[in-house]
């Protein structure tokens, strides 16, 4: 299972482990791009630990469900504001690593 296939509601620990051991292979947008795969894994892991669905996280963070899905799948490089909102909603620190 990959992040792209992560279920909407809750993620069992074995599926999180699978996502961690097989992160998506993504091409960086630029030399300053962040590691989108690692970011997505963090969001999925923290969301699952909090027992939140993608929709619940989106509402709590004040972003769209589509944004949460795209960040979790590593399909978009979120803005600082979006990362801040997700971090606050999850009550967790999100570590961002540049490629």
**pLDDT for 12-68, tens place per residue?**
566 555 555 555 555 545 555 778 888 999 999 999 999 999 999 999 999 999 999
The DSSP letter of residue 5 is G
Please indicate, yes or no, if residue 97 is contained in any of the structural domains: no
Mean pLDDT of 66-89: 93
Full residue range of the structural domain in which residue 39 is found: 3-90
Write down the pLDDT at residue 92.
92
Please indicate, yes or no, if residue 96 is contained in any of the structural domains: no
In terms of Cα–Cα distance, which of 33, 46, 45 is closest to 75? 33
Residue 65: alpha-carbon gap to chain centroid:
12
Please indicate, yes or no, if residue 29 is contained in any of the structural domains: yes
Considering its fold, how many domains does the chain have in total? 1
* Phi/psi of residue 53, nearest 5 degrees: -80, 170
Rounded Cα–Cα distance for residues 8 and 13 (Å): 14
Per-residue confidence at 1, pLDDT binned at 50, 70, 90?
Answer: very low
Phi-psi domain of 26 (left: phi exceeds 0; alpha: psi -120 through 50; beta: other) = beta
Per-residue confidence at 97, pLDDT binned at 50, 70, 90?
Answer: confident
Per-residue confidence at 70, pLDDT binned at 50, 70, 90?
Answer: very high
Please indicate, yes or no, if residue 95 is contained in any of the structural domains: no
Please indicate, yes or no, if residue 75 is contained in any of the structural domains: yes
Output the domain CATH number for residue 33.
Answer: 1.10.260.40
Mean pLDDT of 77-86: 93
In terms of Cα–Cα distance, which of 38, 41, 34 is closest to 78? 34
**Cβ-proximal residues to 59 (8 Å cutoff; 6+ apart), any chain:** none
């Amino acid at each position: 299972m990959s992040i792209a296939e992560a279920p909407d509601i809750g993620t069992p620990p074995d599926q999180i482990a699978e996502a961690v051991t097989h992160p998506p292979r993504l091409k960086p947008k630029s030399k300053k791009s962040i590691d989108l795969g690692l970011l997505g894994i963090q969001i999925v892991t923290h969301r699952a630990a909090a027992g939140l669905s993608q929709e619940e996280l989106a509402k709590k963070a004040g972003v769209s469900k589509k944004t949460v899905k795209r960040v979790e799948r590593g399909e978009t490089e979120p803005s600082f504001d979006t990362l801040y909102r997700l971090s606050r909603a999850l009550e967790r620190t999100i570590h961002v690593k540049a490629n």
